[in-house]
């Protein structure tokens, strides 16, 4: 009996000790599943003195912010009650083995028709930082977008000093007419689309536009505190400069990948990109403008040359004054200041050494840029581009054509012929002086729905070479389903004999969207470890509509964990 009591006493002591030890441990990270319903619907919104019936999600512009942690899952039912077909893309989410949740219409799914619905299901795997979501069907992205913020797993935190507060800064473009009508007119005439009428910060144009001052967005800060700004370029067609008057910005992440911190007065951010910065409120308590304006690299091209503003507002600034003084204006570069843009992007580095692929299996050279299609009747209403032509865009002289009867991923998975071909050229069909004087005979691209096959696990290098056809330009290129290492860039034509010696194979930045320097090139590397059909395209949406896109067809590897998941039963019908 005495022995039994001793055993019971020991067990009780052991259990109490174990409980005390577990209580001292940090909390376990338990992955959550987040359920959302996104109603795509029209809503009247007043901007620039006019009321427009825009397409929104849940009646919000910008749309709802999704806040999750690394490892969490999302189940988002999208119900379309708008008058247009729609699909949604979760920009920067890798969607491992799950292209069915990626979203670009006629690439991984057919659109959700009016009255229809589709549930996107996906898990965040080893990603954290700032991403975003947006419509991926024609120009609905003009108003259908929102932030997607991925926090670290508990008990982990940021690899920098924890800010007291944070805020999302979504930069956008506003059209004073239906954006779909703007696109339709451009596609009918073959001319460049009308430019936007305003830029916006969190949906509001700011103080420098008519009928807008009362709604200018304000960000309140306490003197001395540090805040994290999650900056997203949601603009349809424009790279932007962004600055905050009298305040330094410390860059700590881009495209949901941490960077070596560096300080700057201005950032350049292309459509699709995100940049996280720390701002310390260390100035005289007052009001300071946040501002964004165009970085425009296309020569002789029309662009929206306006400036959007928000206000950084010190809480203890003139609390008793009814009319505080006008905010201090931010200093922004000239619209064509490529040296400032280049200086910014060249400072981006990964925090530590990264595992860059060195043995390359697929070495690809992609010329990217605009083109012109000749017309048999140059004076017709459908040939209003330069000298009676129609604008086009291409990669390796192939202007991408989206299928209409099926999605590429469905055809790839089911072996359906006739939807796409697999003969996308790995190098330009014809070599020429890409950034010099290009013969007019090379200005007209061919058209096709072409993909390029990659074996699972292969190491890929792509050199994206801008061309001077029509004009040199910064093209922000986005690769779905992947992030990649940006190992090098330069101006002029890429030289395979000398330029690779300057590649950064130690700590290059990790991105999902990268711009081609105007009249230059940029080199990226990645491992093709995500099977499926993945779109690569310019994130300037007018260029996408003209065909500046292609598709990678990444084959299954070995076994279930290297193979595409089966399609969900509610995939929208074609």
Enumerate the domain spans of the chain. Answer: 30-157, 160-347, 362-562
- Taking the CB of residue 130, how many other CB atoms lie within 10 A of it? 26
pLDDT tens figures, 285-338 = 999 999 999 999 999 999 999 999 999 999 987 554 556 679 999 999 999 999
The matching CATH number, chosen from 2.40.110.10, 3.90.650.10, 2.60.40.420, 1.10.10.10, for 160-347 is 2.60.40.420
Please say if the pLDDT value at position 78 is more than 80.
yes
Give yes or no for residue 161 having a pLDDT over 70. Answer: yes
SS (H, E, C) 158-188: CCCCCCCEEEEEEEEEECCCCHHHHHHHHHH
Element (H, E) at 220: strand 218-221
Instruction: Identify whether the C-beta of residue 111 lies closer than 8 Å to the C-beta of residue 105.
Output: yes
- Give the mean model confidence (pLDDT) for residues 549-562: 98
160-347 and 362-562 share one fold: yes
Closest by Cα among 203, 135, 213 to 169: 203
The answer, yes or no, to whether the previous bond of 155 is cis (omega within 30 of 0) is yes
Give me the mean pLDDT over the 54-65 stretch.
Answer: 98
Biggest CA pair distance of the chain? 108
Per-residue confidence (pLDDT) for residue 321, from 0 to 100: 54
DSSP 516-534: PPTTEEEEEEEE--S-EEE
What residue spans of 211-351 are helical by DSSP H? Answer: 338-346
Low-confidence winner among 15-24, 56-65, 410-419 (lowest mean pLDDT): 15-24
Averaged pLDDT for residues 88-94: 98
Question: What's the CATH code, domain 362-562?
Answer: 2.60.40.420
pLDDT the model gives residue 323: 63
What is the arithmetic mean of pLDDT over 235-254?
Answer: 98
Q: What is the pLDDT of residue 17?
A: 47
30-157 — its CATH code?
A: 2.60.40.420
How many Å apart are CA 506 and CA 549, to the nearest integer? 30
What percentage of the chain reaches a pLDDT higher than 70? 94
pLDDT confidence bin for 29, thresholds 50/70/90: low
Continuous H helices in 29-143: none
């Amino acid at each position: 009996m005495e022995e039994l009591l001793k055993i019971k006493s020991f067990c009780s002591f052991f259990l109490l000790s174990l409980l005390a030890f577990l209580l001292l441990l940090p909390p376990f990270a338990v992955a959550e599943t987040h359920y959302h319903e996104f109603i795509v619907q029209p809503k009247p919104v007043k901007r620039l003195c006019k009321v427009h019936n825009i397409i929104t999600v849940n009646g919000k512009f910008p749309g709802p912010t999704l806040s999750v942690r690394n490892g969490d899952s999302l189940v988002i039912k999208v119900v379309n009650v708008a008058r247009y077909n729609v699909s949604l893309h979760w920009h920067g989410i890798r969607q491992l083995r799950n292209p069915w949740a990626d979203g670009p219409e006629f690439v991984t799914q057919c659109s959700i028709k009016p009255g229809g619905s589709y549930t996107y299901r996906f898990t965040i795997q080893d990603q954290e930082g700032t991403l975003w979501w947006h419509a991926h069907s024609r120009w609905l992205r003009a108003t259908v977008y929102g932030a997607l913020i991925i926090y670290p797993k508990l008990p982990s935190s940021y690899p920098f000093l924890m800010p007291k507060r944070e805020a999302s800064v979504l930069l956008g473009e506003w059209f004073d007419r239906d954006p779909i009508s703007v696109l339709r007119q451009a596609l009918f005439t073959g001319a460049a689309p009308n430019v936007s009428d305003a830029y916006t910060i969190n949906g509001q144009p700011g103080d420098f536009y008519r009928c807008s001052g009362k709604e200018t967005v304000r960000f309140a800060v306490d003197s001395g505190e540090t805040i994290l700004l999650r900056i997203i370029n949601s603009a349809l067609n424009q790279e932007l400069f962004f600055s905050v008057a009298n305040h330094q910005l410390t860059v700590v992440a881009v495209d949901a990948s941490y960077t070596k911190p560096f300080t700057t007065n201005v950032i350049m951010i292309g459509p699709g990109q995100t940049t996280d910065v720390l701002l310390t409120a260390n100035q005289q308590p007052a009001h300071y403008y946040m501002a964004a304006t165009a970085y425009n690299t296309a020569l002789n091209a029309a662009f929206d040359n306006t400036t959007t503003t928000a206000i950084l507002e010190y809480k203890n600034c003139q609390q008793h004054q009814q009319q505080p003084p006008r905010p201090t204006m931010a200093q922004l570069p000239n619209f064509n200041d490529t040296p400032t843009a280049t200086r910014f992007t060249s400072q981006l580095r990964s925090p530590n050494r990264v595992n860059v692929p060195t043995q390359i299996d697929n070495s690809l050279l992609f010329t990217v840029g605009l083109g012109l299609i000749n017309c048999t009747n140059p004076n017709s209403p459908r040939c209003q581009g330069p000298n009676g032509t129609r604008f086009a865009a291409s990669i390796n002289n192939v202007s991408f054509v989206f299928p209409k009867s099926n999605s590429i991923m469905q055809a790839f998975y089911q072996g359906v012929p006739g939807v796409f071909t697999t003969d996308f050229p790995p190098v330009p069909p014809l070599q020429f002086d890409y950034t010099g004087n290009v013969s007019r005979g090379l200005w007209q691209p061919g058209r096709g729905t072409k993909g390029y096959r990659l074996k699972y696990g292969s190491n890929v290098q792509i050199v994206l070479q801008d061309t001077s056809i029509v004009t040199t330009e910064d093209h922000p290129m986005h690769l779905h389903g992947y992030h990649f290492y940006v190992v090098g860039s330069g101006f002029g034509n890429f030289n395979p004999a000398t330029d690779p010696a300057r590649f950064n194979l130690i700590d290059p930045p990790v991105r999902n969207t990268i711009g081609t320097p105007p009249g230059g090139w940029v080199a990226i590397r990645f491992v093709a470890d995500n099977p499926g059909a993945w779109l690569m395209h310019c994130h300037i949406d007018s260029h996408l509509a003209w065909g500046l896109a292609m598709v990678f067809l990444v084959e299954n590897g070995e076994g279930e964990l290297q193979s595409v998941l089966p399609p969900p039963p509610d995939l929208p019908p074609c």
